[in-house]
């Protein structure tokens, strides 16, 4: 269906692709992986024709429709979510809009003298709407929006009033409803809660077209893709299998390449030693010449490209007492909405609670109550006397000083720390070399999250409260964070939609449901085994 043949591409001074080739066939579900900045978005843009390759060819079979979801959703306003989603399905949305206008006209007493023409036109438009299967389309649009977490009210409301994350879901729903022959999805798992993520997983498993996608959620990728295309150093390498298999194969081929490199280096050293030893002796001139020629002809084995992996180790946190935080008879409302009514909850030392519940269940509110960012309407929230709190919230990224560089930001937070230790800290969180001189205003979402985390973990608290800490983080940084937090000696309370993160770090689960609050001993894996569901909102 889609072929990239010997692609060459350069962005400014950066060489993105050199003679790179790959194919996407009907029914294939491919995960596109590679370090940040390797060229994943450039590849999508070349396939959709938004950007031409400098060399080589991108060919798409005639008649193949492509749906492309990117993080840049543009401005949406003035229409309902349903209308916006149906717009992706072609002319049916224009017909639906005219139907709505005619329905409004029929109810308008000022237009009574035009009623015959309006009714005639309404009949024609309604016939066209039925021809285009419009009524089924409207139902399907609502089904997709429901799967992505929209309430009926949000479906009918103006898209312009939605936050950026919800607009992303509308843009994604457009592509899903369109059901093109090939879907290109750039980070579709961003901004989704766990229920929506699992719904999308099932949808994509049942999709029979070709799929090419990027995702920072390894569990999501593992369950959908049957092939991986890796972009690295300008080349495209294809691996059959899921993400887990790709990681194993990559590690194996790196090991083999390293062994080959070392064998060749040992052989070269031996040959060079012989040449150096005997080059001045006339009796060995022929042998020396022969070996020099042999060395010139040898194809040199390159050592495997080492991915820059960062490791972060916690300084020991000060020991806390046994009681970390206690909530007694807590009531919390927002307007007419009751979030908590008489909540009792206690966190004890070394417990790692993950908080689960559908959108609006009160997950972030609980974290705000615990950290003192919001007060209960009634009841008490008491932190233990020796508790040193660290709170990672999404809004913390907005509080960074845009004019300060990464390094200045760290220096401002830790004026007593030496330059060497702050540079080491920056390096652990992926800011190496000149990256520390970047101003905070130009940082990506992932870079901002890493900087906030670095500041929080340098002088470690003994109680970590984390609200979606893995949003914006790539797979490698998530792995580093999980490895570091697994060694952490303190107590944790967190919300995350990343199942790998949940399974690796929790030893308690607090489930928020309309029926009440339920606590489970054992972590996320045990919770799934006991309830038979991966998220509370999936209960039938």
8 A C-beta contact, residue 511 and residue 517: yes
In this structure, which CATH number among 3.40.50.300, 3.40.225.10, 3.40.50.720, 1.10.540.10 belongs to the domain 323-531?
A: 3.40.50.300
Structure tokens at 178: 């369109």
Structure tokens at 422: 């702050």
Spatial distance between the Cα atoms of 376 and 192, rounded to a whole number of angstroms: 28
Helix/strand/coil for 185: strand
Q: Looking at residue 458, what is its pLDDT? A: 85
Write the CATH number of the domain with boundaries 1-65+180-241. 3.40.50.300
Q: What is the mean pLDDT of each run of 10 residues along the chain (540 residues)?
A: 91 85 93 84 91 92 89 77 81 75 87 88 86 80 93 91 88 90 92 91 94 93 94 89 90 89 90 87 84 87 70 79 95 92 95 92 94 95 93 84 92 89 85 88 85 87 93 84 89 95 96 91 94 79
Q: If 0-12 CB within 10 Å is exposed, 13-18 middle and 19+ buried, where does residue 294 land?
A: exposed
Spatial distance between the Cα atoms of 437 and 434, rounded to a whole number of angstroms: 5
Q: How many C-beta atoms surround the C-beta of residue 322 within 10 A?
A: 9
Q: Looking at residue 308, what is its pLDDT? A: 59
Spatial distance between the Cα atoms of 149 and 357, rounded to a whole number of angstroms: 13
Q: How many C-beta atoms surround the C-beta of residue 122 within 10 A?
A: 17
Q: How many residues does this entry show for the chain?
A: 540
Spatial distance between the Cα atoms of 421 and 415, rounded to a whole number of angstroms: 12
8 A C-beta contact, residue 16 and residue 42: yes
Q: Looking at residue 57, what is its pLDDT? A: 93
Handedness of CA 464, 470, 472, 477 (dihedral sign): positive
Structure tokens at 444: 């990506």
| Phi and psi angles of residue 15, each rounded to the nearest 5 degrees, phi first | -85, 115
* Residue closest to 536 by CA, chosen among 365, 360, 359, 356: 356
Structure tokens at 162: 């939605």
Q: Whose structure tokens read 């809009």?
A: 97
Query: Helix crossing, 134-147 with 92-106: angle to 10°?
Result: 100
Q: Looking at residue 29, what is its pLDDT? A: 96
Spatial distance between the Cα atoms of 168 and 72, rounded to a whole number of angstroms: 8
The full DSSP string for 283-332 is: GGHHHHHHHHHHHHHPPPPPPPPPP------PPPPPPP-SEEEEEEEEEE
Q: Looking at residue 195, what is its pLDDT? A: 92
8 A C-beta contact, residue 30 and residue 227: yes
8 A C-beta contact, residue 122 and residue 99: yes
Cα torsion for 238, 241, 245, 248, to the nearest 10°?
-30
Spatial distance between the Cα atoms of 430 and 446, rounded to a whole number of angstroms: 10
The full DSSP string for 445-489 is: HHHHHHHHHHHHHHS--SEEEEESTTTT--HHHHHHHHHHHHH--
Q: Whose structure tokens read 């919300």?
A: 495
Longest dimension (CA), the chain: 116
Domain with CATH 3.40.50.300 in the chain: 1-65+180-241, 323-531
Spatial distance between the Cα atoms of 223 and 31, rounded to a whole number of angstroms: 11
Spatial distance between the Cα atoms of 411 and 413, rounded to a whole number of angstroms: 5
């Amino acid at each position: 269906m889609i072929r990239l043949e010997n692609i060459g591409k350069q962005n400014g001074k950066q060489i993105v692709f050199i003679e790179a080739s790959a194919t996407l066939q009907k029914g294939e579900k491919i995960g596109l992986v590679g370090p940040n900045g390797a060229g994943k978005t450039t590849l999508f843009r070349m396939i959709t024709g938004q950007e031409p390759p400098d060399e080589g060819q991108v060919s798409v079979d005639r008649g193949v429709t492509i749906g492309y979801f990117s993080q840049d959703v543009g401005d949406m306003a003035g229409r309902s979510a349903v209308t916006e989603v149906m717009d992706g399905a072609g002319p049916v949305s224009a017909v639906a809009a005219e139907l709505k206008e005619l329905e409004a006209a029929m109810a308008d007493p000022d237009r009574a003298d035009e009623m015959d023409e309006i009714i005639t036109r309404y009949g024609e438009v309604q016939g066209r709407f039925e021809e285009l299967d419009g009524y089924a389309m409207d139902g399907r649009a609502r089904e997709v929006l429901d799967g992505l977490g929209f309430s009926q009210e949000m479906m009918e409301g103006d898209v312009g009033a939605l936050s950026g994350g919800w607009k992303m879901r509308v843009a994604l729903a457009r592509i899903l409803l369109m059901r093109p022959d090939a879907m290109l999805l750039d980070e579709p798992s961003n901004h989704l809660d766990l229920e929506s993520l699992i719904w999308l997983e099932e949808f994509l498993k049942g999709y029979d077209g070709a799929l090419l996608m990027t995702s920072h959620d390894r569990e999501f990728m593992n369950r959908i893709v049957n092939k991986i295309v890796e972009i690295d150093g300008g080349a495209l390498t294809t691996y059959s299998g899921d993400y887990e298999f790709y990681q194993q194969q990559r590690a194996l081929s790196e090991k083999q390449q390293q062994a080959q490199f070392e064998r060749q280096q040992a052989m070269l050293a031996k040959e060079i030693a012989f040449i150096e030893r005997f080059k001045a002796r006339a009796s060995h001139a022929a042998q020396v010449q022969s070996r020099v020629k042999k060395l010139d002809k040898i194809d040199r084995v390159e050592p495997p490209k080492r991915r820059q992996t960062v490791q972060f180790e916690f300084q020991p946190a000060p020991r806390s007492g046994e009681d970390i935080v206690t909530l007694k008879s807590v009531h919390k409302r927002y307007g007419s909405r009751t979030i908590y009514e008489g909540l009792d909850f206690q966190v004890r030392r070394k417990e790692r609670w993950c908080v689960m519940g559908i959108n609006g269940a009160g997950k972030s509110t609980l974290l705000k109550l615990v950290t003192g960012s919001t007060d209960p309407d009634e009841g008490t929230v008491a932190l233990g006397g020796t508790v040193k709190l660290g709170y990672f919230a999404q809004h913390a990224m907005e509080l960074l000083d845009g004019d300060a560089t990464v390094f200045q930001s760290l220096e401002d937070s830790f004026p007593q720390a030496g330059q060497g230790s702050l540079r080491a800290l920056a390096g652990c969180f992926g800011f190496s070399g000149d990256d520390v001189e970047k101003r905070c205003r130009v940082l990506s979402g992932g870079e901002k999250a890493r900087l906030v985390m670095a500041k929080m973990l340098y002088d470690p608290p003994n109680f970590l409260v984390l609200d979606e800490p893995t949003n914006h983080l790539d797979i490698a940084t998530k792995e580093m964070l999980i490895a570091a937090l697994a060694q952490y000696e303190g107590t944790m309370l967190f919300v995350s939609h990343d199942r790998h993160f949940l399974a690796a770090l929790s030893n308690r689960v607090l489930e928020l449901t309309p029926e009440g609050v339920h606590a489970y001993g054992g972590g996320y894996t045990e919770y799934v085994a006991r309830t038979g569901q991966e998220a509370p909102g999936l209960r039938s």
